[in-house]
Structure 1
Amino acid sequence: MNAYNGIPATELGDVTWQKSRRSNSIGNCVEMARLSDGSIAVRNSRFPDGPALIYTQAEINALILGAKDGDFDNLLG
């Protein structure tokens, strides 16, 4: 499979989507899945059949570690 940015999430096959424990009951959350090539797919849980964005492991590391460091605290509502 050649995953690309904007690929329909349904075309990614049998992947295991994971969302944050902080997700609310109406599904407002981002979900992530590890793909067979080691990249990470990201989708909007409200539109599970919609497009998925594909990131490298290094890009996801930078995002998660930056969030842990507070780099995005200014975006909290």
Structure 2
Amino acid sequence: MDDVKWRKSSRSDTSGKECIELADLNSSVGVRDSKDPEGPKLVLSRRQLGELLRAARNA
């Protein structure tokens, strides 16, 4: 995933301590921790990302 464009979430913490980045992978979405760009990455379907966001809002 070295050649994809990562974008920081507009909902990320303004202090930069709690940030995630997303990448458009056509039919799926990449998710990574902006503090650790070389670390693990998740690949989720767009539906899975929507479900994750709904669950986080309700937590």
- Is the structural similarity TM-score above 0.5? yes
Structure 2: unaligned runs, 5 residues or longer: none
TM-score (norm. length: structure 2): 0.72
**1:59 counterpart residue number:** 48
Where 2:13 maps in the other structure, the secondary structure is coil
Structure 1: unaligned runs, 5 residues or longer: 1-11, 73-77
TM-score (norm. length: structure 1): 0.59
**Displacement of 1:28:** 2.7
Identity %: 34
Q: Which has the higher helix share?
A: 1
* Equivalent residues, number: 58
Q: Which has the larger radius of gyration?
A: 1
The alignment's C-alpha RMSD in Å is 2.1
Higher relative contact order (CA 8 A, sep 6+): 1
Change in Cα spacing, 1:16 to 1:48, as seen in structure 2 (3 Å) is same
Q: Which has the higher strand share?
A: 2
